[in-house]
Copies of this chain bind each other. A is one copy, B any other.
Amino acid sequence: MELLKERIRKDGIVREGNVLKVDSFLNHQMDIKLFNEIGKEFKRLFCDTEINKILTVEASGIGIACVTAQYFDVPVVFAKKSKTKNIAGDVYTSKVKSFTHGRIYDVMVSKDFLKPDDKILIIDDFLANGCALLGLADLINQAGAVLQGAGIVIEKGFQVGGREIRKKGIRVESLAIIDEMSTENGIVFRN
């Protein structure tokens, strides 16, 4: 998606340790006009696919998922990362390793909101090592629902996640795939 790549080139900041800061438009401050274009593009890519629900994970996936959901005309469910009083009872849960936070956390979804007849599109802002995506796929699997694919805004193609997840037969559509990234040479996108 050219508009997105241009924006990453213009406003993305590469930091040591494979960190790409896109917090001025994607995951802290959010450019909702860009999110609309992202949503349209996900709809174009998955227009051949039956989808009745979008699944994402808090927090930075939620905005993109909600704006995208308008183009699919479906509800969004977001997996939670910590148990609150309001999510007591029956939940599906899966362990995820976070490199950003340097810890292991649980993702969970109430059993009320993932059902065997659900056809799910996962939406998330980043795909790097793939742990978050595999956690969400595991929740869908536990529910007996169908994972129709994953729409990712930025894939770090130099990390293993995308390759490993596609190898499992999961359809992944990433709007921008970064093949190389360094503070010296900037960002190289996959064609």
Q: Which residues of A are in contact with B by a Cβ distance under 8 Å?
A: 17, 19, 21, 23-25, 27-33, 35-36, 58-59, 62-63, 65-67, 69-70, 73-78, 80, 82, 84-87, 100-102, 109-110, 112-113
B residues in contact with A24, CB < 8 Å:
112-113
Nearest opposing residue in chain B for A33, CB measure: B73
- Residue pair A75, B28 in contact (C-beta under 8 Å): no
Report yes or no: A76 in contact with B112, Cβ–Cβ below 8 A.
Answer: no
Determine if B36 and A86 form an interchain contact, defined as CB atoms under 8 angstroms apart: no
- 25 A–B pairs (Cβ distance < 8 Å), ordered by A: A17-B85, A19-B85, A23-B86, A23-B112, A25-B75, A28-B78, A28-B80, A30-B66, A30-B69, A31-B75, A35-B66, A36-B70, A58-B58, A58-B59, A59-B78, A62-B66, A63-B66, A63-B76, A63-B78, A66-B66, A67-B67, A82-B101, A84-B101, A85-B101, A85-B102
